[in-house]
Amino acid sequence: MVLIDKLLLKLKEQGSRVLIFSSMTRMLDILEDFCWWRGYQYCRLDGNTPHEDRQQSIDAFNAPKSEKFIFMLTTRAGGLGINLATADVVIIYDSDWNPQVDLQAMDRAHRIGQTKQVYVFRFVTENSVEERIIEKAEMKLRLDNIVIQQGRLVESQKTLGKEDMLSMIRHGANTIFAGKDSTITDEDIDVILTKAEEKTKELNERLEKLGESSLRNFTLDTEGGQQGKSLYEFEGEDYKAKQTRPVGDYWIEPPKRDRKPNSYKVDLYYKEQLKGPQKGETKAKAPIPKNFPNIFDFQFYPRRLFDILEKELNYFRKSIGWKPLPPEDLTGKEAEKAQKEEQLKIDNAVELTEKEETEKEKLLNQNEFADWSKREFRQFINASEKYGRHELESIAREVETKTYEEVVKYSKVFWKRINELADGEKYRNQIEKGEQRIQKRQAIKQALEAKIIKYKAPQHQLRINYGGSKCKNYTEEEDRFLLFHLYELGFDNENVYDELRQKIRCAPQFRFDWFIRSRTTMEIQRRCNILISLIEKEMGDMGINEFTQPATTASPAVSKKGGKKQEEKTPATKRKEHPTPGPSKSKKAK
């Protein structure tokens, strides 16, 4: 940080604008605090920056006569698709393992519109693993130029081994631990930059010595002045030469090991037996004749048509000698029995007569629901579950591709012939459960309405019969607010609890009530459900007639001494105090 402070002061004086790249967002947080402390105007971009803020920051930095001095970016998120040609200095705070990522970061300033000389500063900690990272990155770039582009890349050295990684981490450790009172605060920034240029020149000269032959054989320099050592040599043996030796005809491939379970597990056995076919395993489909009509039971063709088509299909399978497979949903004797019955139908099948062919064509052309698709049928079922079978206008709005008259006509036939559907009982139960939920919502809405209209000012007078289930967290005032606005917004409103949460946050009486303001939508819904159950219980205990009677407010009591009226005050319900954040102030006893 001392070095970047000195460098930025120098760049600020000469009128440059800076891009700072780091691979860690936490480092950007530290640099952001540094810029605020120094008073530098800056922009920031990382992987969590929204697209709108991202574009605004780029436009603000590239604007004419912009006062933004620094643009901080993460190497991965800010390295592509950005033009920051108004900057002329790039600082790479920490280098990436992939040199192409750093090159992309440098190219943010080398874009069309750049009119100045661009300088790139790479921060490297001396005698640390960062030096090895830079060496590896430069080696990869030279391999790219010489080997990859010529199509001779060897795939064996893609990742670092354990020893290579440990060697990089240990590099310079003794120098760091032996150093005492090392600081750069007294060094001039020009001296530091001169040393950096010499270090870079030395590294480039050392890498220049690695010619094409060394790179092709993947030989790297080792410490201690040793000669280049091949990666294929281990303990004095050259394993690359061994690979070129011819293998004799006597070689036999060893068998692969087959692991067998040591014990019998019942659960695992049934799991294997009951699981369906795996991906890639396709069961042979039963054959059908060419141009066979594709009809569905929900299109409600006449039953006679299904009998004719079944007869035609069985005769076709008999003519090709097809044997039916046992059904997947049955096992044992039941599956065997079903298979025999299917085979018997095929064996006894006969060809359709001319009269039956004519009848088939006639029945196919008479159906008025032949254009109903599976998607429209599912929309009809889901809408019937959502609104009830009798709300045909609402159902027609859900089935967008059909008119109201078509939906009405289909609904009549559907409920008349629902037993003909293969899953007719399932559809009936699905719709009936939806209607039960609708009735439940209506009952809750009526009970809530009956509770609210009993009071002239329910937002102040509403009383809740808690019984033995009084909550310590919510006060009666908060419960009263929830019930009143739940009734006001509409219990059957889909977004009622989101709107109720907004009401709470805007209510002036809860401005300093951190508990109720911090409740989530799910917690508010859960509390409202508890209050509704209390109202239903109260309604069941009192009876509908007594429950709907208007509530009588207590008359004010008259004091015997002064004759003035004093209203009876009920003790306010208090929530169990929760510690609030912030310092607490103690009161001195007087």
In sequence order, what E strands does 181-221 have? Answer: 219-220
Domain 297-366: state its class: mainly alpha
Instruction: Judge whether 20 and 71 are in contact, CB under 8 Å.
Output: yes
pLDDT, residue 561, reads 39
DSSP state for residue 209 in the 8-state scheme:
T
CA distances from 172 to 25, 131, 183, 526 (A): 27, 9, 17, 61
Return the amino acid letter for 183. T
Taking only the tens place, the pLDDT of each residue in 51-69 is: 888 888 888 998 888 889 9
Taking only the tens place, the pLDDT of each residue in 155-210 is: 444 455 555 554 544 444 444 444 444 455 445 666 777 777 777 777 677 666 65
Query: What are the phi and psi torsion angles at 217 (to 5°)?
Result: -90, 0
Sign of the alpha-carbon dihedral angle for 50, 53, 57, 58? positive
Residues 498-511 have a mean pLDDT of: 90
Closest CA to 579 of 515, 508, 505, 507: 515
Sign of the alpha-carbon dihedral angle for 136, 138, 140, 143? negative
User: Is pLDDT of 308 > 50?
Assistant: yes
- pTM here? 0.41
197-211, 217-231, 340-354, 542-556: least confidently modelled range: 217-231
* DSSP letter for each residue of 555-586: PPEE-TTT--EE---PPPP-PPP-PPSS---P
CATH number corresponding to 437-547: 1.10.10.60
Mean of the per-residue pLDDT values of the chain: 74
Here the tokens at position 295 are 């009809």
The pLDDT-based confidence of 226 (bands split at 50, 70, 90) is very low
Instruction: Judge whether 10 and 89 are in contact, CB under 8 Å.
Output: no
The pLDDT-based confidence of 40 (bands split at 50, 70, 90) is very high
Closest CA to 356 of 294, 320, 296, 311: 311
How many angstroms separate the CA atoms of 350 and 512, rounded? 85
Query: What is the CATH topology of the domain spanning 2-122?
Result: Rossmann fold (3.40.50)
The pLDDT-based confidence of 568 (bands split at 50, 70, 90) is very low
Q: 């990869």: which residue's tokens?
A: 140
CA–CA–CA angle 203, 209, 214 (5° rounding): 120
| Domain map (residue ranges) of the chain | 2-122, 129-218, 297-366, 437-547
CA–CA–CA angle 586, 588, 590 (5° rounding): 155
Instruction: Judge whether 7 and 121 are in contact, CB under 8 Å.
Output: yes
Q: Residues with Cβ < 8 Å from 587, sequence gap 6 or more?
A: none
Taking only the tens place, the pLDDT of each residue in 362-390 is: 888 877 888 888 899 999 999 999 888 88
